Structure 1
């Protein structure tokens, strides 16, 4: 079994082995080019990210700088947005759903180390991370290995996700825990006592209608 096979199987592996070192070097070379692009070079940026990540889509926005290990283990859905300083350690599959947003300094750590120090010196291991649709992860949050975040979830800023998070909730803290479920009040107030305007409701209804028509075509 190769070190890459061990990595993808969730077993202890040596990240400095020749095949993996070469794959990481290729990813880092692409990242160097991406992270030094002029802001006006949007088409080139999209093209380079399509080479780095597992996506053929072009409707994503990833603010720079961005960091990852290999790129080939990262799959993004439609309309993905990552703010500045996103880091993804992708020794295992990192799957991100549709309409997902990351705040600044969000980190996904699929790769980690054994706790026992002598074993830790022998290598690392990686376990998958799965993020559902319509998820917003607040700034400075960390998602640990082997985590599943459901659909329609908000992860509060500064959280550390160490357990699975179910659908339709707001979760915060270190360790991250469910604060509450989404409810009807969230359709009326966007922040504390600040209400959505009638103009907004009209706009959002037009947007959702157009999206439904587009999906049906």
Structure 2
């Protein structure tokens, strides 16, 4: 009997298209997907307010709805939803930034700076999607008293650890057809970007299992 699977996916650029945030082409796969997230937003905002004194940064918590709409192309309602943060803080550079120094400062506070498909993000150190995925999988296995195969899908380098930690990792290409510059050994490269690539790759994996 084949082992049951748990699927974890990124949202922007993977389950959702990069530009219009549509998941229309992933509807077949949606029913299989569990979404992982982590980090405390309050501790991240405290750090961010402090670090802005040293670096020219602007986070979602500093932006107006119109700012977010201009950067993302979201509708007003969707932009408002995206600004109701519980975990990470997306941000942009408003000048020249020494990224290594910024990462060092974040590390001192138990935080990390990671690059997503569109923004940089501040997240809690050691509590990214890989850890959340492994923790949730452990809970499932403990509750159901059986093992599960984990499948993870993402398009950016900041979640490389999740792709590595999963039994099956899928890297989704960007809209221009290129892939994040990461070691893709033992990681499947999807054929299409966004929801179409997510849907096709996931259904092929499930059909083969």
Q: TM-score, normalised by structure 2?
A: 0.26
Larger-gyration structure (1/2): 1
TM (norm. structure 1) is 0.25
Larger helix proportion, structure 1 or 2? Answer: 2
Higher RCO (C-alpha 8 Å, min separation 6): 2
Q: Which has the higher strand share?
A: 1
